[in-house]
Amino acid sequence: MHKALFRSVIALIALTVLAATAGCGTSASQASPVHFGGGPKTGASMHSTPPGKHSLVQWPTRPISFTEESRVGGAGQNTPIGVTTLHGPRSGFTGKVWVWAPPEYYEKRNANKGFPVMEALPGSYGYPVNYWIGSDLKLEENLAQWSKNGTSLPFIVVMPVLNPNDKQYYDGSDIPGQPKIGTWLSKDVPDLVRQNFRTLKTRDAWAIMGSSSGGFAALKNVLQNPETFKVAIPNGPDIVPDSPLWNGHAKEERENNPEVLARRLIARGGPPVYLAFQDGSREYTVLPKVRKFIRQYGHGPVHTRLHIVPNGTHSAGTYVQGLGEGTMQWVSAQMTGPSA
């Protein structure tokens, strides 16, 4: 998974993220509680009127208080990023999850609307911090700006840790005898969002994005759980599982292989999924594998798009750039926006 490359830079990224969030947020001793039922400053009630009989809105079921991690500037209009420690009831795994809602979520005109969701997974170990919260990458700020420009839907973003530690990769999967990270990412984390945000009762409003090792997890999860996710954005992904923890578990490894999952999805005719691959033009090892996957499996219900970022590298910065170069516009065209 180009892990050697990511190992050399992930510590720096994590330190940068921690420094950036410390600079733009409140300290732990002063952190404020964050609720996502109303405005970022008002803590308004969950909703002012009940949904209609045929409403698409999935209202929050068990809202909790998140701790404020930081705030998003620029087009983000000082909206908060919250964090909580989630004890996954389905996976049994406990880890941190960060969440953010776009400015449109707090607007009075949208008070009775549900919003689309993007689960964003980091690269490398993705532990103990999910680097997508960092103000250096400006993912949330850029998403807010693209939404304002009309080139992206306004997404709720949820950012869980990717692995249980920084020693091993778990391929975003339920490896026998190991923490059930596949269930954590595909069940527990989406459930947390539904419990706390106004979402939508349709797979058309759920996307999953990841980079490098997180890109593999995003690709695998949309093919494995198409009833939950309609769209994936695999950034510089590996195509097949390669964690050494699979040793002795060939059958289970096969069940988590995107090539196998894509063949099965094609054979049964759907449901349709949309894969928005992104790679830097200098990702000489990754690109041939991605192109091969698209040639072999990009047909029938498996819809694909490949965006190559000019002079781009195997890095989160490259992928954020690509999102603004047409990827988010294509992704948004496949999905349902804020709806009542």
Q: What is the pLDDT of residues 77-87, one digit of tens each?
A: 999 999 999 99
pLDDT at 31: 77
Asked if 140 and 154 touch (Cβ cutoff 8 Å), the reply is no
Strand partners, 84: 97
Q: How far apart, in whole angstroms, are the C-alpha atoms of residue 64 and residue 54?
A: 27
Instruction: State how far the alpha carbon of 230 is from the alpha carbons of 42, 74, 126, 157, 159, in Å.
Output: 33, 30, 23, 15, 18
Query: What pLDDT score was predicted for residue 3?
Result: 55
The answer to whether residue 117 sits within a structural domain is yes
Question: Element (H or E) spanning 99, and its range?
Answer: strand 94-100
The pLDDT value recorded for residue 54 is 87
pLDDT > 50? residue 10: no
Closest C-alpha to 127, from 64, 184, 76, 78: 184
Residue 282 inside a domain? The answer is: yes
Within 101-211, strands assigned E span 117-121, 156-160, 199-200, 206-211
Question: Residue 30: what pLDDT?
Answer: 64
Share of the chain above pLDDT 90, in %: 85
49-63, 155-169, 255-269: segment of lowest average pLDDT: 49-63
Residues 6+ apart with CB under 8 A from 208: 118, 119, 121, 185, 217, 218, 221, 222, 229, 231, 232, 233
Answer whether the bond into residue 244 is a cis peptide, omega within 30°: no
142 occurs within a structural domain: yes
Q: H or E stretch including 72?
A: strand 66-72
Q: What mean pLDDT is reported for the chain?
A: 91
Structure tokens that stand for 175 in this block: 């490896």
Q: Which of 8-17, 77-86, 226-235, 282-291 has the lowest mean pLDDT?
A: 8-17
C-alpha neighbours within 13 Å on the C-beta side of residue 209: 25
**Residue 52 domain flag:** no
| Mean pLDDT to the nearest integer, 235-250 | 98
- d(CA 166, CA 174) in angstroms, rounded, equals 17
Write the CATH number for 168.
Answer: 3.40.50.1820
Number of domains in the chain: 1
pLDDT band, very low/low/confident/very high, at 53 (cuts 50, 70, 90)? low
In a domain, 78, yes or no: yes
Mean pLDDT of 28-45: 60
32 within a domain of the structure (yes/no)? no
End-to-end CA distance of the chain: 41
* For residues 11-15, average pLDDT: 46
Note the residue count of the chain.
340
**Separation CA 65–CA 318 (nearest Å):** 34
Residue 44: predicted pLDDT: 38
Q: Which whole-number Å values give the CA distances from 153 to 28, 82, 307, in the listed order?
A: 32, 21, 19
**Res. 26: pLDDT tops 60:** no
pLDDT at residue 38 in the model? 47
Q: Which residues contact 50 (CB under 8 A, 6 or more apart)?
A: none
Note the pLDDT of residue 51: 55
pLDDT over 70 for what percent of the chain? 86
Mean pLDDT, rounded, for 170-188: 99
Give the domain extent around 178: 3-24+57-333
Summarised one tens digit per residue, pLDDT across range 104-117 is: 999 999 999 999 99
Domain annotation covers residue 101: yes
Residue 9 lies inside a defined structural domain of this protein: yes
Q: Report the pLDDT averaged over residues 236-243.
A: 97
pLDDT tens digits, one per residue of 133-147: 999 999 999 999 999
